[in-house]
């Protein structure tokens, strides 16, 4: 076996082999794009999705679409020797198609921090930057095991993704993990899935201290639902304790997790002062 041959098993259990470290990579995941730049392999990126906006250098790379339902032709047009996708049913089909066309495709999970850590190591191996990958991976793993404040002093939060019907973020998601790392307790941690529709009266009954809302951009105006009469039954709405998380830092798991945790912790302290 040639010494430079790279063999990995991706998060979908598929074995992928490269003859040499990847030189032309198409990334169909913003987290993967960030990871590649963090590993110093940003110059090897030849294709990205429209969501891949960090770091700024990534925006120079041509886009192959929004990546939600991968445009195979656009991907092939970039002549990649490796394509990295996040794991989903649609993407598994796309990966199979690419493999059949002779292009190695790797699926990575992206729900929680540990997935990003693992992806860092995987990408490190695939790009020949093993040391950087392992180092970043360890960093992120340490973060997940970091010491959390006393459970009794935790700030109780609810992540509201939508107001009518109320959709909250549950334990299956990155935001829930962030909350835990930042010293907050997600009142809907008992909901297993990443998001779920819940009853408004449940939110009222669980009485969170702070409502966290994800936004695309920073505006001063509170979201419409805070003025709706039925939401006024929630104490945090009446008290105006609403926290906005904007930008790609919080929207999805990414290697800047440490920064995200710190920022979140700071914002929480601010809002409960």
Partner 1 sequence: MRWLGLVVVVACALALAVVLGPAHVPLADLATSDVVRSLRLPRALLAFLVGGSLALAGAGLQALVRNPLADPSLLGLSGGAGLGAVLAIALHVSSPWALPLAAFAGALGAMALVYRLGLVGGAELDPRVLILAGVAVGAFTAAVTTALVSLSDAAELRNAFLWLWGGLSGASWDSVLLLCVYAPLPIAVLLAAARPLDLLALGEEPARHLGADVESVKRRVYVAASLLTAAAVAVSGVIGFVGLVIPHAMRLLWGHRHRPLLPAAFLGGGALLLLSDTVARVAVAPRELQVGIVTALIGVPVFVLLLRRWTAN
Per CB under 8 A, 238 contacts partner 1: no
Residue 224 is a binding residue for partner 1 (CB under 8 A): yes
Number of residues that bind partner 1 (CB under 8 A): 31
Taking each helix axis from N to C end, the angle separating 30-38 and 113-126, rounded to the nearest 10 degrees, works out to 60
Closest Cα to residue 52, out of 248, 266, 256, 272? 248
| Structure-block tokens of residue 145 | 């095991």
Q: Please identify which residue in 199, 239, 240, 262 interacts with partner 1, judged by CB under 8 A.
A: 199
CA dihedral 170, 253, 223, 53 (to 10 degrees): -160
Q: Does 196 bind partner 1 (CB under 8 A)?
A: yes
Residues 19-58 that bind partner 1 (CB under 8 A): 50
**81 with 88: CB under 8 angstroms?**
no
Contact 127, 41 (CB under 8 A): yes
DSSP-assigned beta bridge partners for residue 155: 184
| 3-class SS of residue 2 | coil
Give me the torsion for CA of 69, 38, 262, 197, rounded to 10°: 10
151 sits near partner 1 (criterion: CB under 8 A): no
Binding test (CB under 8 A) with partner 1, winner from 42, 104, 166, 253: 166
Q: Does residue number 242 form part of the binding site for partner 1 (CB under 8 A)?
A: no
Whichever of 60 and 217 has its CB closer to partner 1, that residue is 217
Examine residue 189 and tell whether it contacts partner 1 (CB under 8 A). no
In the list 165, 220, 270, 273, the residue contacting partner 1 (rule: CB under 8 A) is 165
Nearer to partner 1, 9 or 233 (CB): 233
Interface with partner 1 by CB under 8 A: which range of 38-46, 79-87, 131-139, 192-200? 192-200
- Nearest distance in Å: CB 254, partner 1: 17
Per the document, the length of the chain is: 273
Out of 37, 86, 159, 225, name the contact with partner 1 by CB under 8 A. 225
Closer to partner 1 at the Cβ: 147 or 220?
220
The Cα–Cα gap between 87 and 94 comes to: 10
CA-CA distance, 254 to 175, in Å (whole number)?
11
Torsion of CA 88, 92, 97, 99, to 10 degrees: 120
Give the one residue of 2, 56, 145, 229 binding partner 1; rule: CB under 8 A.
229
Distance in angstroms (rounded) separating the CA atoms of residues 243 and 248:
16
Residues 108-147 that bind partner 1 (CB under 8 A): none
Q: Is 261 in the site for partner 1 (CB under 8 A)?
A: no
* Interface positions with partner 1 (CB under 8 A): 50, 66, 162, 164-167, 188, 190-191, 196-202, 204-205, 216, 221, 223-230, 232-233
């Amino acid at each position: 076996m040639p010494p430079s041959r790279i063999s990995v098993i991706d998060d979908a259990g598929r074995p992928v082999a490269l003859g040499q470290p990847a030189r032309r990579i198409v990334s169909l995941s913003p987290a993967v794009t960030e990871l590649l730049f963090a590993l110093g392999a940003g110059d090897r990126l030849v294709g990205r999705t429209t969501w891949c906006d960090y770091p700024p250098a990534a925006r120079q790379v041509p886009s192959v679409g929004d990546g939600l339902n991968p445009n195979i032709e656009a991907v092939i047009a970039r002549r990649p020797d490796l394509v990295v996708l996040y794991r989903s049913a649609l993407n598994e089909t796309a990966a199979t198609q690419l493999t059949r066309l002779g292009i190695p495709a790797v699926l990575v999970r992206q729900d929680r921090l540990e997935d990003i850590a693992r992806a860092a190591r995987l990408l490190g191996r695939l790009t020949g930057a093993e040391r950087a990958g392992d180092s970043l991976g360890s960093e992120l793993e340490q973060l997940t095991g970091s010491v959390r404040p006393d459970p009794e002093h935790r700030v109780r939060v609810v992540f509201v993704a939508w107001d009518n019907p109320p959709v909250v973020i549950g334990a299956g998601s990155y935001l829930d993990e962030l909350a835990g790392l930042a010293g907050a307790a997600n009142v809907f941690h008992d909901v297993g899935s990443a998001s779920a529709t819940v009853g408004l009266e449940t939110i009222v009954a669980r009485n969170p201290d702070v409502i966290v809302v994800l936004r695309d951009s920073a505006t001063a105006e509170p979201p419409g639902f805070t003025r709706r009469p039925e939401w006024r039954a929630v104490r945090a709405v009446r008290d105006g304790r609403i926290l906005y998380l904007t930008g790609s830092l919080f929207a999805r798991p990414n290697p800047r997790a440490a920064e995200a945790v710190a920022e979140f912790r700071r914002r929480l302290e601010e809002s409960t002062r």
